[in-house]
Structure 1
Amino acid sequence: MKQTILILITALISTVGFSQNRDDHHEKIKTLKVAYITEKLNLTQTEAQKFWPIYNTFEDSYDALRDASSAKRKNIDVDNLTENEAKILINEMRELSNKRHQLFQKYMTDLLTVLPAKKVVLLKKVEDDFKRKMFEEYKNRHKKSKKTP
């Protein structure tokens, strides 16, 4: 079973590498992630139907908060920033951090309504494993492309 997942991931990542469209690339990675998480958590059909809307809503909301935070940091002109403006920015950063924390708290509560606690704990490990595999695949591809003359 693990070999099947690894082959699937490798095959899909290979096709992702040739993709010209950035959205296609992200969609293929998301598809890989869904398959990987579903398999590793051993989600039943009922669990999956309830889990994925919660997971996707959290991911979308968290991404939006991260993008907002990033946009704030990009637009800061530190050289011309007054002390008062800096304090306002710090308060906005705190507010965004609190929103992320509240979002995570709600996410955990919602997950516990549809999954056993053990699967909720396992989810973090599975996500980390997926990221690590994707990063390793990226490094391997980058290494190969540097070697090719």
Structure 2
Amino acid sequence: MKYIYLILLTTLCSIGMNAQNPDHADRQDRNKEMRDRINALSIAHITKELDLTTKEAEKFWPLYNQVKEERNRLERGKKSLINKLESEFETMSESQAISYVDQMVALDQKIVATHLDYNHEEIIKVIGAKRFLKLKKAELDFRRKMIKEYRDRKRRN
């Protein structure tokens, strides 16, 4: 467990040092670094809240990451569809609009299904039902914490 924290701390420090040099990375690199940093913080938060053993972590994280990646893929597809829709909105016909609505509803249903399915049975086999509930709470708490941090930084600037 100590090694996980040490690795996360080292990663965060190296990302922080790279982020201090504005000439080092363009906007996409900074965004990727920020996503990686938030992901590392999320991993640390969830690991701490669930108090995972090394053996549990080895089984848990691949399952969790698989579901998370699927959700992210679907969300990226939805954003792409929205961007396409925005560029064609003024010139689209009613039948094209119906097609976009159908595609949007289908993506929303897949996203909800991914949230509901969540491979919860497999994860519960690894960490137990009680810690699964802790996982859901830890995810929500982390999201709230990040939103609060964002709002606080926005107020300061």
Work out the number of aligned pairs and report it.
137
2:35 is equivalent to residue 45 of structure 1: no
How far apart, CA to CA, are the structure 2 residues paired with 1:110 and 1:92?
Answer: 30
The partner residue of 2:141 within 107, 129, 136 is 129
5+ long unaligned stretches in structure 1: none
**Cα displacement (A) at 1:119:** 1.3
TM-score for the superposition, normalised by structure 1: 0.76
Query: For each residue in 1:50-105, what CA deviation from the matched residue of structure 2 results, as whole angstroms up to 9, or x when unmatched?
Result: 11111111111111100111111111123322222222222212221232233331
How far apart, CA to CA, are the structure 2 residues paired with 1:107 and 1:82?
Answer: 40
Runs (4 or more) in structure 1 with deviation over 6 Å come to none
Q: Which residue of 1 aligns with 2:110?
A: 99
Matched residue type, 1:48: A
**Cα displacement (A) at 1:106:** 4.5
2:86 is equivalent to residue 82 of structure 1: no
Matched residue type, 2:58: Q
Q: Which residue of 2 aligns with 1:119?
A: 131
SS in 2 for 1:43: coil
Contact map agreement 1:65 1:96 (CA 8 A) in 2: yes
How far apart, CA to CA, are the structure 2 residues paired with 1:101 and 1:25?
Answer: 26
How far apart, CA to CA, are the structure 2 residues paired with 1:19 and 1:129?
Answer: 31
SS in 2 for 1:92: helix
**Cα displacement (A) at 1:19:** 6.7
How far apart, CA to CA, are the structure 2 residues paired with 1:101 and 1:29?
Answer: 23
2:120 is equivalent to residue 108 of structure 1: yes
Tell me the C-alpha RMSD between the 2 structures: 2.8
Q: Relative to 1, partners in 2 of residues 1:19 and 1:142: Cα closer, same or farther, differing over 3 Å? A: farther
TM-score for the superposition, normalised by structure 2: 0.72
Matched residue type, 1:42: D
